[in-house]
Amino acid sequence: MAHQSLITIEHHIMMQEREHPEATGVFTGLLMDIALAGKIISREVNKAGLVEILGSTGSVNVQGEEVQKLDEFANSTLIDSLDHTGRVCIMSSEEDSNAIEIPPQYPCGGYTAAFDPLDGSSNIDANVPVGTIFSIHRKISKGPRGDEDDLLQVGRRQVAAGYIIYGSSTMMVYTTGNGVHGFTLDPSVGEFLLSHPNIRTPRRGRTYSANESNYHHWSEGIRRYVDRLKETDKPSGRPYNARYIGSLVADFHRNLLTGGVFLYPADVKDPKKPTGKLRLLYEAAPLAFVAEHAGGYASDGYQPILDLEPMSLHQRVPLFIGSLDDVKEIEQYIAEHDKRS
């Protein structure tokens, strides 16, 4: 059998941090805290069918969505892993309407964390893959504790981002801007081991992922683009494949590895939701950071997601993400057919 080094995520993050002479190890610690939370969430997701943790808590979150018990569990696991360590100064979560401050008895650190604790959770009861998405920035405010400005930073200034996918196996994928690396959890030893070093996404894919039931709510540019994907008069002679799980991390992860594009456009028919469904700070921006560092691209249809200035913690944004040439083509269709409102 060929020799293969066993590289743990901890070792990998430490080696990456060592490339920065000023590094103190705090950053490695922070990513390890997220990995630990991921292992605990993974354990709970895996046994979810056996214990009383499936289903709704009976309450509704800030987004107006039903809170699943596992959402709540994942959220508190992340907060409990991060709030006492002295590594972060403020946090934000899909599940909390306000920024999450560090309790006064704990020290504040030089980083911020924003996360979607369990994305795709409306699928949990059907055993569909779900994921945790995270985004890390440096603290920029001057005061001793963090404030909302630390969280409302442009995606391009992320110092790390990634996700943990709870699928047929659990994987953590992260980037600190130096390649995108994937680790598979070996549950018997509780370690994330390097399985996908230096992930590069194909420049063009053959797959599109969208909730096409919204077709009549899309702009003309998007409708024409998707119609075009189904035509057979392309050089390949074949239409694109449609693949939609309805769980962002799972759809994104598949397209990252095999090429393709994920679309969640704005709803142009419903004035109450003109800006798309997915959230900028803890869904679109971190996945955009991963996509760009893997050679892909993410856009709101007009400009890179990573250049959008966030205005509020739960801001929504249209999202087109995946293979570079596919996302650029969407931008062209929009430029050609849609007037910017």
Q: Closer to ligand AHM at the Cβ: 16 or 255?
A: 255
**How many CA atoms lie less than 13 Å away from 141 in the CB half-sphere?**
18
Q: Total residues contacting Mg ion (rule CB under 5 A)?
A: 2
Question: Cβ contacts of residue 27 below 8 Å, gap of 6+?
Answer: 13, 17, 111, 159, 160, 176
Site for Mg ion in 255-294 (CB under 5 A): none
Query: If binding is defined by CB under 5 A, does position 116 make contact with Mg ion?
Result: yes
Q: Closer to Mg ion at the Cβ: 250 or 266?
A: 250
Question: Least separation, in Å, of the C-beta of 122 and ligand AHM?
Answer: 6
Q: Give the C-alpha separation, 240 to 49, whole Å.
A: 35
Instruction: Enter the tokens of residue 176.
Output: 């600190």
Question: Least separation, in Å, of the C-beta of 322 and ligand AHM?
Answer: 13
Q: Are 268 and 154 in contact (CB under 8 A)?
A: no
Q: Closer to ligand AHM at the Cβ: 111 or 218?
A: 218
Q: Give the C-alpha separation, 74 to 277, whole Å.
A: 21
Chain-centre distance for alpha carbon 33: 17
Question: Least separation, in Å, of the C-beta of 280 and ligand AHM?
Answer: 13
246 binds, among ligand AHM, Mg ion, none (CB under 5 to 8 A by kind): ligand AHM
Binding site for ligand AHM (CB under 6 A): 65, 94, 116, 119-122, 211, 246-248, 277
Q: Closer to Mg ion at the Cβ: 44 or 119?
A: 119
247 binds, among ligand AHM, Mg ion, none (CB under 5 to 8 A by kind): ligand AHM
42 binds, among Mg ion, ligand AHM, none (CB under 5 to 8 A by kind): none
Q: Give the C-alpha separation, 152 to 326, whole Å.
A: 29
Q: Are 164 and 31 in contact (CB under 8 A)?
A: no
Q: 93-96: long-range contacts (C-beta < 8 A, 24 or more apart)? A: 93/117, 93/282, 94/61, 94/62, 94/63, 94/119, 94/279, 94/282, 94/283, 94/314, 95/61, 95/62, 95/67, 95/71, 96/62
> What are the φ and ψ backbone dihedral angles of 245, each rounded to 5 degrees?
-90, -35
Q: Closer to ligand AHM at the Cβ: 94 or 191?
A: 94
From 74-82, 109-117, 199-207, 264-272, give the range in contact with Mg ion by CB under 5 A.
109-117
Q: Name the residue number minimizing CB distance to Mg ion.
A: 119
Q: Give the C-alpha separation, 178 to 176, whole Å.
A: 5
65 binds, among Mg ion, ligand AHM, none (CB under 5 to 8 A by kind): ligand AHM
Q: Are 298 and 284 in contact (CB under 8 A)?
A: yes
211 binds, among ligand AHM, Mg ion, none (CB under 5 to 8 A by kind): ligand AHM
Q: Closer to Mg ion at the Cβ: 33 or 116?
A: 116
Question: Least separation, in Å, of the C-beta of 265 and ligand AHM?
Answer: 11
Question: Least separation, in Å, of the C-beta of 175 and Mg ion?
Answer: 20
Query: If binding is defined by CB under 5 A, does position 119 make contact with Mg ion?
Result: yes
> Rounded to the nearest 10 degrees, what angle do helices 69-82 and 26-46 cross at?
160
Q: Closer to Mg ion at the Cβ: 290 or 334?
A: 290
Question: Least separation, in Å, of the C-beta of 74 and ligand AHM?
Answer: 11
Question: Least separation, in Å, of the C-beta of 228 and ligand AHM?
Answer: 21
Instruction: Enter the tokens of residue 156.
Output: 């391009």
Question: Least separation, in Å, of the C-beta of 242 and ligand AHM?
Answer: 13
- Interaction site with Mg ion (CB under 5 A): 116, 119
